[in-house]
Amino acid sequence: MKSYRKELWFNISARMDFKNITQDVIACVRESGVKEGLVLINAMHISASVFINDDERGLHHDYKVWLEKLAPHEPVSGYRHNDTGEDNADAHIKRQIMGREVVVAITEGQLDFGPWEQIFYGEFDGRRNKRVLVKVIGD
């Protein structure tokens, strides 16, 4: 069995935004040489997420509005976590909602997706370097 590991680094200029990383993951699968297996993609920071959905601008807008309603950034004084001097309690909650990682099957060297599925990095406390782990295992 082969094993491949790579870190992808991102610096999202906005506090909250989504980046399609599907092509980055495809490149990792290609580099790994795995034809049949699994790829794990996970955010290595507790205020970021990885998820699968449609790459549609309206949907991404709706996610941002929905997440901000569920866990609004302001007022930062509304969160006990922010008593530590941080201002990102909402980012931790948004990450919990959107998830830490995804696993995708690899079949014949390709990501085995359903229609419209794409992989996204979700940032909820941006403006600094953060990483995503891509781990490919298989034959």
For residue range 6-22, what is the model confidence (pLDDT) as tens digits? 999 999 999 999 999 99
Q: Residue 11 maps to which CATH number?
A: 2.60.120.460
Residues above pLDDT 70, as percent of the chain: 100
Residue 41 resides in a domain: yes
Residue 79 resides in a domain: no
For 17, list phi and psi in degrees, rounded to 5.
Answer: -165, 170
The angle formed by the CA atoms of residues 25, 115 and 1, to the nearest 5 degrees, is 40
pLDDT at residue number 117: 98
Residue 81 resides in a domain: no
How do residues 97-111 score in pLDDT, each as one tens digit? 999 999 999 999 999
Residue 38 resides in a domain: yes
Q: From CA 136, how far away is CA 69, in angstroms rounded? A: 36
Residue 80 resides in a domain: no
Domain count, the chain: 1
pLDDT at residue number 74: 96
Residue 94 resides in a domain: yes
Please state, in angstroms and as integers, the Cα–Cα distance from residue 128 to each residue in 9, 12, 83, following that order: 10, 7, 22
Residue 26 resides in a domain: yes
Q: Are 47 and 125 in contact (CB under 8 A)?
A: yes
Mean pLDDT over each residue of the chain, to the nearest integer? 97
70-94 burial, b if ≥16 CB within 10 A, otherwise e? Answer: ebebeeeeebeeeeeeebbbbbbbb
pLDDT at residue number 87: 96
Neighbours of 115 (CB within 10 A): 5
- Average pLDDT of the segment spanning 111-123: 97
